[in-house]
Structure formats: structure tokens, C-alpha cells
Amino acid sequence: MKTAALLILLVAASVAQKPLSYEVVLDPTALSYLSVRLRVPAEVKGDLELALPSWHAATRRFRDRSRIVSELRATDGEGRRLEVLAEGGGWRVRRSGTSPVDLSWRIGDTRQEPHSEHYFTKTSALIAGARTFLWVRGQETRPCEVALKGPTEWKVTTPLKPTGAEGRFSALDYHSLIDAPVLMGALQTWSFDFGGTKHDVVVDRFDQTEPIAGEAVVKLLQKICTVQADAFGAPPYDRYVYVFIEGARRSRLRERSVVVGYQADEVFDLAGLVRPCADAGVWARLPGASRPKWLVAPDYSKRPDTEDLWFIDGLVKWFGRRALLEARILDKPAWLAQCGRRVLEHRNDLLARVVSPAAASKKVWDRGDTLDIGLAGEMLALHFDAKIRANSEGKMSLQDVILRLNERFPKPKGYTVEDLRKLLAELTGEDLGEFWKAHVDGVQAHPFDATFAIVGLKMNWYALKVRDPRLRTQQQGRFLIVRGLRRFDPLYAAGLRGGDRIISVNQKKVRNPDEVDAQLARLKPGMKLRVDVRRGGRVKSFRISLQRAVALTIPVDERAGRVVIDDVPPGALRDAGIRVGDVLEKVDNQRIGREQDLYQALRRIRGDVTTLTIKRAGKRKRIKVASKTRTTWRGSLVEDPKAKPAARKLRDGLLANSGL
């Protein structure tokens, strides 16, 4: 038996693949590029086809990245130069021998400011694998190693597995390598163990103002891990990394890590800080456990067919939000308020009327504005969750979809959109054909009232016929305070500030957000809005003029001093013949020299038809575009006091928390 076992070990060792060995060198005195090397083992035969991936699930863009690669050189094991040929967004290395190949290149176009994808500064760096490590076509399943070399005082954090040697890490394959960000620098770090799985929390602070309350964040993350493990089982990873980047604007979810961007003044909103982390726990159990077909053996040179991306993003948002409630990070009123705001965002999104979730899921890889598929998917997730709860009398919910996907389509099997539809039909007890056609493949308005009635909730709707003045309020004890005011909002320009305590709106006393919305719904274009508040013991009044809300959006980009139309979604622009690349010169009679001019011009539109002056191929054209009045919806999501007993029971299950 011992001899047989030894023979098996020897055979296994003989067939084990040698890794692709990468090395990244960061020199803070040369911030404009990273230096990268790669050794391809001799057992890889023939010419090498190389490229940077054109897409990655975390970045949601399809683009040719070959322009950021420079000084690509190749030598054989004896140091002889090999021919490198550029081929269609990639390179081919000619080789004739059987020795290893050593490659070196530089990655340029580095950012020198905080960003959730990548950056390189004098004090830290975030390395994105998909724009750093060249892909050797045909070797995607080969194990990889990477050596990271930077200033000796810099800490290194990554979900990659340490090899034991300082600064060296390993990945199961190329896909795992490029899905794992690497953060290096002068970092704040914490860690915690959950069920035998190590979780790292790391913060890169740029402004060095208010530090994150690391221990408080860790406690909240532990709560999130607990409720998600109770719902979905043990996490499908042996190590997870939470990265917080001060000054970055968005978050990026990966299978074993999440990068959270935040602003310095947001460190006190711990629930907001950890919300992307709750989303990440669900993401790890979808693409990380059961995979859609497009993530099984992906070809990074072709645009993926992601018709189901609305489902993945929607479940991530819905169950991430659910985790905050179950872990008692948000109480029930705050959670309902947050969900209500999401519903309003979707109903007020003009693109939701012309772009379906399925179409937007495919289009997301192209540059330009499109439907927020995470938001649209969250609305569909809400509907399916309600239907599954009703069909099972509260015994099942949408989380059972994730559990069954994991059971029926484990790695590397992969599921299709049709598999997903059949599973949802099975758990809802409905055919779903007409609903799918209308709301997934189509743009029919979502049946919010019917959905909420199933689970004993209702939306209080208020229709505004004026441009939304963005007067957002929040109950804080017995006070009603202003929240979410942005610097370019008209009320901010008038002097209103977040935290002001509202006394009245248009001289009518208001006690809750619904009463504010009811007052706003009475206003018409040309009228004035007056807001009376108490600030620091003094009463102040602020007034703004209200304008007509126009159902016209023009996606543009500023390029070399010109305002260029960079997307033409279905609707008024496309119907009028506007094209991507048209240079916008005027809206009616107002000149457009920068993007801000466009926003001002759109506010001044009065009629149902607007004239755009554009330049195309050197010729100036005047094109008439429909600019109809739009309705802006305001309101709140509340428990329905008239709900039937069965609906109240489902509501209790939906709004329950874990008791942590």
C-alpha cells in the first residue's frame, strides 16, 4: 500500500503544472507606470498569444487596453531576444525552442489619485489584475504566482494566498489572479476570524482627516457575516478582504474581496460604509459559487453575453440591503425608508421607460449611459421575493433561489437565463411568461402597488409637476431635518443646509416627510417654494423659483473644449436623428461650451419641442427634439394598516431580524 501511495504521489508531482510567474515592481519616484515581468515555463509549447483582458466582471467595461502596455520585450531562457508582433489588440511572441520565455513590459496610464479600480501614489498603490497581468491565451487554468516589490515599509494586502516567501502570492488560475486586487502602502489594518475563515479589513486614508472606527466596522462586518452564513451557508472562500479607499467614488465587488470608496465626511455613517460589504457577501455566493454561463471559461477578448446581469446585480442589492435589516444595522423604519428611496429612483429613471433590464444587461459593457441594472434588478428581486413568500406561505423566499442555483449548477457547470426563469417559475408557482416579456425583456412599468400589497406594504405616492427641488427630509426623534442636499442643488445655493430642522413648507407646518411631499405636489411651474427652518436657535427662510420638469436627457462628454454626445439611448434623441459623436453647440438659443451649460439650458426649456444645434462631419445642423413635461414621483414606503392577515404574516417575515 505504501509503495502504491508513493507511486501516486510521484505521478501527481510529474503532471503538476508549473505556474506562470509574474513580478510587479513599484517605484514611487516613477508614478506614471508599473514595471511587470512574467516567466512562462518551458512546458508551454509554440508561439505565445498575449493580451490584457478586454473586460472583467468588476469593471463593467469592454475596451482595448493594449494602449497602456509599452516596452514589451521577450527573451528565451538563455537571454536571446524573441520577436514580438502586434496582432489585433494583443501580441504574438515567436519562439522556436523549448526553453522558458521571459517577458517584461510597463503598464502606463496610472491614476495618481484615489480610485476604486487602480491608482499609484507616493504613499500607496491599488493594483488591478485585469490591467496589469498579461493573459497568455490557452493557459487560463494554469496556476499563477506573483511577486510584489515596493518600498520596504509598505504593507501588502490581497486575497491571494501567501506562498511563505515575503511578498510572494499564488492563485489557483489566471481568473483568480485578475479577480484579486492588491493594495500596498501605509495602511490601517484589522482582521477577524469567522467560522475558521480569515477576514482582513484594510483602509487607505489619503486626506488623513477623520480615521475610520475600525473596531466598530469589524463588529458590523461580523454581524453581516453571521446573518449571511445563516441564510446561505458557509462562505465559498477561505479568506476575504474588505478594502476601504478614502476619496474614491464607488465600490467594486469581487469573489474574495470588495473595494469600498468613501469620502472623508462619511466615516461617521457606519451603516453606509458597510452596505457595499453586505452586497459583497451575496456576490461571493453568486459568481463565486454558482456561475452564469458567461463566467464559465470566459474569453476575455470577446464581449460577454450577459442578458442575466440584472438578476445577479439585483439579488446582490436586495440581499445586501436585507442583511443590514437582519443584522440590526438598520432598524425597520430606516430600512423601509431606504427601500422606498430605491423604488422612487427607479420610477423616476427616464431610461427605465425605454431600456429593458435584459437589454441594459447586454449594453453595460459599452461606454455611455444606460439603465441602472442593479436598481432595475433590485425591483425585480423585490417582486420575485414577494411572490415566492406568498406561494410558499412564508416558508421560502428569494434566498432559496441562490441555494438551489448552488445545488443544481455548481462550478464549473454554469446556468443560463432559461435555467433561471424555470427556477423562478418553480418557486413562484407562476408561468412568468407574460411578466418576463413585459418587465424583463420589455419596459412596461413595474407593478409596485400589487407587489407591495402581497407583503402588507404600500407606497404613498406624490406626483410633482415641477423640476424636483430635491428637498429631502428625515425624521430624527420629534424633529424633521434636511438630508442629502448637494452643493449644486438650487436650495443649497439659496442657503439651505443639511441638518436644518424644517418648520414649514410654503407656510404650512410639516411633521413628517409625507407632509413635505404633499406640499411639493401642489406646486406648479412659475410658483415659488419657501422653506422655513430652525438653525442654531434662529429661524431662517429660503426661497427658490420652480421650473417645469422636462423629460429630456442628453448624455455628453467634454472633449478638447467641446461638448460631444456620447450616447443616444432609445427615446426622443434617437427618434430625432441625433447620433453619437455629434458636437452640441446650442440648446434653443443658449450656447453650450461646457457640460454645466447644458444643465442650465435644460432647466430653461419651456415648450414641448427643443431645437438642438449640432455639428456633424464639419456641417452644422438644427434638429428639433421632443421635450415633454415629465412627472417626478415622491413618497414613502410604509406598513399598510389595512393589509389582510395573510399579507401581514408575510410582512412580519420580510421585516424580521436575526436578533443579534
119 and 204 housed in the same domain: no
Kindly report the three-state secondary structure assignment for every residue of 412-465. Answer: CCCECHHHHHHHHHHHHCCCCHHHHHHHHCCCCCCCHHHHHHHCCEEEEEEEEC
CATH number at residue 221: 1.10.390.10
Separation between Cα atoms, residue 611 and residue 521, nearest integer Å = 29
The closest of 352, 350, 398, 394 to 373, measured between CA atoms, is 352
174 shares its domain with 191: no
pLDDT single digits (tens) 140-152: 999 999 999 999 9
Task: Give per-residue pLDDT as tens, 618-649.
Answer: 999 999 998 888 889 999 999 999 999 999 99
Average pLDDT over the chain reads: 90
Do both 536 and 614 map to the same domain? no
**Domain shared by 449 and 359, yes or no:** yes
Of 517, 545, 573, the one marking the end of a domain is: 545
In a domain? residue 108? yes
Pairing of strands 479-483, 472-476: antiparallel
Who contacts 239 (Cβ-Cβ below 8 Å, separation ≥6)? 159, 161, 197, 198, 199, 200, 256
Domain that holds residue 43: 15-185
pTM of the model: 0.86
Amino acid code (one letter) for 237: Y
Which residue carries 462550478 as its cell? 411
The reported pLDDT for the residue numbered 233 is 87
Residue 199 lies in a domain: yes
Range list of β-strands (E), 160-295: 161-162, 168-171, 182-185, 188-194, 197-204, 239-246, 251-253, 257-262
Q: Would you say residue 659 lies in a domain?
A: no
Q: Is residue 261 part of a domain?
A: yes
For residues 113 and 178, membership in a common domain is answered with yes
pLDDT score of 1 = 45
285: its cell numbers: 455566493
Q: What is the mean pLDDT of residues 446-475?
A: 93
Separation of alpha carbons 113 and 117, rounded Å: 11
Helix or strand or coil: residue 276?
helix
Q: Answer whether 601's CB lies under 8 Å from 590's CB.
A: yes
- Cα 324 from chain centroid (whole Å): 18
pLDDT reported for residue 133: 98
Task: Assess if residue 3 is contained within a domain.
Answer: no
Cα(634)–Cα(473) distance, integer angstroms = 12
Q: Please report whether residue 654 resides in a domain.
A: no
Indicate the residue type of 266. Answer: E
- CA–CA gap between residue 134 and residue 142 (Å, rounded): 14
Rg from Cα positions in the chain: 27
Q: Identify the domain boundary among 243, 265, 285.
A: 285
Quote the number of domains for the chain: 5
- For the record, the C-alpha cell of 137 comes out as 491565451
Domain boundary residue, one of 264, 285, 306: 285
- Answer yes or no: is 640 within a domain: no
**Kind of pairing between the strands at 197-204 and 239-246:** parallel
- Compute CA distances 218 → 144, 237, 241, 358, 644, whole Å: 31, 18, 12, 37, 41
Strands, E assignment, 313-377: none
CATH number of the domain enclosing 472: 2.30.42.10
Dist CA 312 CA 405 (whole Å): 12
User: Phi and psi at residue 246, in whole multiples of 5°?
Assistant: -70, 130
Same-domain status, 133 and 235: no
Assess whether 387 and 427 both reside in one domain.
yes
Q: Within this chain, do residues 485 and 441 fall inside the same structural domain, yes or no?
A: no
C-alpha cell at 7: 507511486
| 486 and 595 assigned to the same domain | no
Dist CA 604 CA 613 (whole Å): 16
pLDDT digits (tens, 9 = 90+) for 188-240: 999 999 988 899 999 998 766 667 888 999 999 999 999 999 998 888 888 99
Asked if 385 and 509 sit in the same domain, the reply is no
Do 119 and 194 fall within a single domain? no
pLDDT of residue 11: 40
Distance of alpha carbon 626 from alpha carbon 368, whole angstroms: 21
Q: Yes or no: say if 106 and 37 are a contact pair by the CB < 8 Å rule.
A: no
Residue with cell 488623513: 208
Cβ contact 260:243 at 8 Å: yes
The tens digit of pLDDT for each residue in 360-412 reads 998 888 765 578 999 999 999 999 999 999 999 999 999 999 999 989 998 78
Please tell me the least confidently modeled range out of 172-181, 523-532, 600-609: 600-609
Asked if residue 398 and residue 527 are part of one domain, the reply reads no
User: For 499, phi and psi rounded to 5 degrees?
Assistant: 95, -15
Is residue 3 predicted with pLDDT exceeding 70? Answer: no
CB 165 within 8 A of CB 146: no
Residue 495 maps to a domain: yes
